[in-house]
Amino acid sequence: MRQVSARGWNGLFAGVLAACVLVVIGAGILALATLIVASAPSIREFGISFLWIPAWNPLHRQYGALPFLYGSFLTAGIAVLLAGVIGVTTAVALTQIGVRWLRSVLSLLLEVLAVIPSVVYGVWALLVIVPIIARLTDHQAGGSVGAFTGSGFGMLAGGVVLGVMVMPTVVAVTREAIASAPKDIAEAAMALGATRQETVALAVMPFVRKGILGSLYLGLARAFGEAVAVSLVIGNQPRSGGGLLGRASTLASMLAHTLSGTVPPLQTAALYELGLVLFLIAAVFYGLGRSYIAREAISLGFLPW
């Protein structure tokens, strides 16, 4: 039997790697092209004004992305604010825990949170977050007859559940950014008499600010793309200008809620255009996140200092 030379095996291996890379890149390009082709009727009908048309009214053949952009940006903003404050603080705490087994257990719990299906988060928010918000808003309204009584469904509930979902991403990236910071920075600060808390706040955190910003951008990318969990609690009403307690809809939740049904051709094309807008926004935020992480030169192989 003829033996294949080492050079032949190397060429075969390189060919397999190149084919896999082309498949991945091709899948992304194909997805983008499919969305463009499917949304072409809507693009021809509304043009760029599709982005700021403030209504989604199938009866009058009026379709605009503004209500969903409003809901997406507001809920994602709430999520990143919540995940940023709690997630960055948690990441700092994990790097300062001296007990190795406790640090490992907490890290494992965060990894488990990252792989929980989004529908489970949605059910949890439906059973826990929505009743809490409804109770709080009812208490603020005074519970009087005729007063506004919050249902609990709305952008605040959607933002909270998104914040919980993106928190593992923020914690993981921020933790690695802190772990990758040169030890000389912390040692120099401590040598000058700084406490450990002052060292983290004044020496390490400014050094890793780009890594933290990158984690927030990655969190935004995921928050924009989540559909099932948000659609269960946000109320699914396409309107803009409401408060945090108002019912709304996001780009992703609208697609999950409507696209599977029977709708007119122009509305279907408009839904695909919403998917195209969502694709581009998520790609931009993900690209920004990766660029900041690359500038920070985060190495996943470093151990916490």
User: What are the residue boundaries of the structural domains of the chain, listed by start?
Assistant: 39-296
- Residue 276 is predicted with a pLDDT of 92
- Whose structure tokens read 């998917």? 275
Which amino acid, residue 188?
Answer: A
Q: Residue 155's closest CA among 74, 85, 228, 84?
A: 74
What 3-state class would DSSP assign to 248? strand
Q: Is the pLDDT of residue 4 over 70?
A: no
Q: Residue 77's closest CA among 177, 195, 159, 189?
A: 159
Tens digit of each residue's pLDDT (9 = 90 or more) over 44-62? 888 888 898 888 888 888 8
Question: Is there a contact between 304 and 178 (Cβ–Cβ < 8 Å)?
Answer: yes
- Residue 262 is predicted with a pLDDT of 67
Which amino acid, residue 36?
Answer: I
Q: What is the pTM of this model?
A: 0.81
155 token code pair:
């952008």
Tens digit of each residue's pLDDT (9 = 90 or more) over 192-239? 777 777 777 777 888 888 888 888 999 888 888 888 889 889 888 887
Whole-number Å distance between alpha carbons of 282 and 277: 9
Which amino acid, residue 256?
Answer: A
CATH classification code of 39-296:
1.10.3720.10
Tens digit of each residue's pLDDT (9 = 90 or more) over 245-296? 888 888 888 888 777 666 788 888 999 999 999 999 999 999 888 888 877 6
- Whose structure tokens read 């499917």? 38
